[in-house]
Structure 1
């Protein structure tokens, strides 16, 4: 049965001297990197951690974090990467839901008391990767906690077979190969950054880890100087780059072969700016921790439908359904659901919420166009019920973003005694604008019921580390604000 890391071991055997991990002080070859992962597996075995046992990884150093997580999985143990910003109480609850385990630590994170801790530095630096490799298949490889943008986080396990499918189904769509180089911008404790690194290693390319400059010009110079051809960003990263690249040539990254943007929806205006100012090789992916990526849009799809998130990946079914669970007509708004072998069946503890009849409901609304391309409209729980009329935040946000004073925005519903909910908007302004002016701008393009009744001005929107707006925090700021 295939192990998630078999591609890494295969390249180590066939191309042992090729670069795998480029660090500021040295470069690890494919053989050296595989051996370093095996050292983690061997050390866990020496300390009595059983195959199938859960290993929570609390390692902040990026190369060490990647080594700890992958080394755990190589030996058949289940990696549970811990959120770098989580507090000990959250980690304690997560470990309890996982049924216990040990914590692999570099001593830099605050840990919950009462759990056995193994120091990463005390594990062997290297071992034989073939000798420690354990069969994968349907055995769990990892457990990943969701971001919890609208409620408490949930933890979804995935098997080696599922992880391999999630990794390899995207590889031919990106068109990358052994000569490509990936630089992580997203912390490798998070699936979005880590899975791109594994994808690069699986096809024989190199992962380049460098300190990230604070200023955009220096960051772009780093990408060019290190010959980075694969990059994964969140929409908030994209906005930072676009805002800070004045004076850069266009496109600023002509050698980029795949600039992948995932996470929350990237506004259409930013997509067009990315392809003109950064790189035409924009790829949009839609997915979640429970399913990996479900759809993909590369340059051909974005040429045809610039606002889409693409068509279903091979082996994945995507439908849009009404409230009764019936598929709706092309172009009709509804709830998105997906199915496929790479999808997790349930959350830890047997929680099957979102899993119904062999389908997973990510909680998003959208529609399919005539070419089978999916367009997202927002979250189902963000859909606003104004006196029985449905208001989708994305359409209000799209209009708000056309106002010259609005730099960023998020639209959501707040309780109303008279209307069930009313439309509220959190805005980040780049110039002065009153709520009345913003409301009038919306009413020029939208029905009056869709124009925000409440405006909340902020210096920045609250986001999680992968760029998703934390709507629950916005609602909390307006708690008790009932019309």
Structure 2
């Protein structure tokens, strides 16, 4: 292989500080509306000036050094957007927590990240108290630290020294949701995120301009924050819900008022939007891209959303470690009707610049149609877990990032997710993938949500239990008769349980870990034969 640098080190690995995306949009359209929340409006010039002021304060008043981690505990608000860009501009690393987590959980994240400075919304005094010894800035008026708003006003007109960054300099600690064990800090870098922003704009939302508007309906601490970073890059106005309460009718009113064209969501929230009575009269004509990720969407829900909203759905698959950047199923490939050319159940094809392999347990690539672990390489893959060599050793093999998700590819390179490796169970010596069973159960008109998981069984090793949420009267016998002809006998659940709702994570995902914990709390696992 030739070496264009003649054996020398690269001349430069310096890249743009991500906060420069805001400066560029502010220069292009200073008087345009950048951020909206309730009755508050910030122009791009105001957004830029406030970010500069806070970044200057972080450097001069709080001594924020390049690479220092800054924790953030807050529900969505304008100041959270401001703080994210200010931290980057000052050279810090953004460490957002999901605001629904407990004080103890946030204390763990703070310690694990090594953060010495915390931005905490005034609504969370218990979270501030849980991290003694941490320098505190309050978003709003609170008794535990100076107000971010007051600090901003004190430094208005001041400009920070924009931190010079290299491609591999950390910019964001993206914590995993911790579905197995403690959450881990995935290290995202300035160079990696620049690729992700470009890829999101190319593969998910091509053609965005300042005439577009984006509505935020998910926490900015995770996928929605990455989504909004892409909006900032193109000067798209960001509209935040006026409160943390999720009101579907209000969502549609904001879509109408601001001619919202893009939204990022997860399947459970999209399902709520589609099925709410207010949707029937909603003006959705401005929507161009309704992007969903975080979990696969069941086919019946996908069809309902397409019939309701039109061909505006865009799906992507990816983990925080790859910043969502693995596959895309663009709007034109979403099919309402099942037919010979419809790829039912696919999460799409590889994103631009990303390579996917389905590998066996030794790391060998499997042929199309065979199930194995989904592994990826490309510029979107993170720099590893922070101070966690054991997790890094487990997650990388021969340079490939191992997602822990199982699936297969077809001949054309479209990926199909079978489920998490940890979700699979073995019954009578055969591998059982819950997602296939869940898809079949959800075609019953009385079932709105379902989760299937394996529990111990003395004869078969493990058997499936189906935890169902019903929207109409239905019995265990009804469901068994319904899906019996649709599945092999060893895949049929041994029990059907009916709950009023399924527990969901702070990101709106149905997780098997939480369901298993709820089964245990109800004493139901004790009843399972061991």
Flag whether TM exceeds 0.5 (same fold): yes
Contact 2:56 2:160 (C-alpha < 8 Å) held by counterparts? no
Report 1:280-319 matches (<5 A).
280-292=311-323, 293-303=325-335, 304-319=342-357
Structure 1 runs (4+) greater than 6 angstroms displaced: none
The alpha-carbon distance between structure 1 residues 277 and 363, as it changes in their structure 2 partners (threshold 3 A), is: same
Match in the other structure for 1:5: 19
Q: Residue 261 of structure 2 aligns with which residue?
A: 229
- Superposed, 1:64-143 pairs within 5 Å as 64-109=79-124, 110-111=126-127, 112-114=130-132, 115-119=134-138, 120-125=148-153, 127=156, 131-137=160-166, 138-143=168-173
Deviations 1:315-334 (A, max 9, x none): 21111122232211112222
1:194 to 2:194 alignment: no
Contact 1:263-1:286 within 8 A present in 2 as well: yes
SS in 2 for 1:60: coil
Which TM-score applies when normalising by structure 2? Answer: 0.86
Unaligned runs of 5+ in 2: 1-14, 139-147, 336-341
The answer as to 2:234 corresponding to 1:203 is yes
Match of 1:255 among 268, 274, 286: 286
Query: In 2, distance between residues paired with 1:393 and 1:435?
Result: 18
Question: Could you tell me which residue of structure 1 aligns to residue 5 of structure 2?
Answer: none
Q: Aligned residue for 1:327?
A: 365
Which sits farther off after the overlay, 457-466 or 240-249? 240-249
Q: Which of 374, 384, 393 is residue 336 of structure 1 equivalent to? A: 374
TM-score, with normalisation over the residues of structure 1?
0.94
Q: How does 1:145-294 map to 2 (within 5 A)?
A: 145-173=175-203, 174-175=205-206, 176-188=208-220, 190-211=221-242, 215-245=247-277, 248=280, 253-292=284-323, 293-294=325-326
Secondary structure of the structure 2 residue equivalent to 1:284: strand
Deviations along 1:156-207, whole A, 9 cap, x unmatched? 111111111112111022122221100100122x211111111111111111
The answer on 1:41 being equivalent to 2:55 is yes
CA distance in 1, matches of 2:293, 2:210: 23
Q: 1:208 to 1:71 in 2, by over 3 A?
A: same
Q: 2:8 corresponds to which residue? A: none
- Gap change, CA 1:217 and 1:108, over 3 Å in 2: closer
Structure 1 unmatched ranges of 5 or more: none
Task: Tell me if the contact between 2:98 and 2:219 (Cα under 8 Å) persists in the aligned partners.
Answer: no
Distance 1:129 1:232, change over 3 A: farther
Structure 1 pair 246/67, CA: closer, same or farther in 2 (3 Å)?
closer
CA-based RMSD of the aligned residues comes to: 2.0
Hey, what's the Cα distance between the residues in 2 that align with 1:47 and 1:345? 28
1:198 and 1:14 mapped to 2: Cα distance? 17
Deviation at 1:419, TM superposition (A): 2.0
Separation in structure 1 between the aligned mates of residue 395 and residue 102 of structure 2, nearest angstrom: 27
CA distance in 2, matches of 1:122, 1:347: 35
Preserved contact between residue 74 and residue 98 of structure 2 (Cα < 8 Å): no
Distance in structure 2 (CA, Å) of the matches to 1:431 and 1:25: 41
Report the count of equivalent residues: 481
Does 2:78 align with 1:63? yes
- CA distance 1:445–1:297, shift in 2 (3 Å): same
In structure 1, what is the equivalent of residue 449 of structure 2? 408
Deviating more after overlay: 98-107 vs 33-42: 98-107
Matched, 1:460 2:501: yes
CA distance in 2, matches of 1:379, 1:55: 32
- How far residue 432 of structure 1 moved from its aligned partner, in angstroms, is 2.0
1:221 is displaced (CA, Å) by: 2.8
- Residue of structure 2 equivalent to 1:378: 419
Tell me if the contact between 2:101 and 2:506 (Cα under 8 Å) persists in the aligned partners: no
Q: For structure 1, which segment, 212-221 or 155-164, has the greater mean C-alpha deviation from structure 2 after superposition?
A: 212-221
Q: Deviations 1:115-145 (Å, cap 9, x if unpaired)? A: 2213323422355686432123321101111
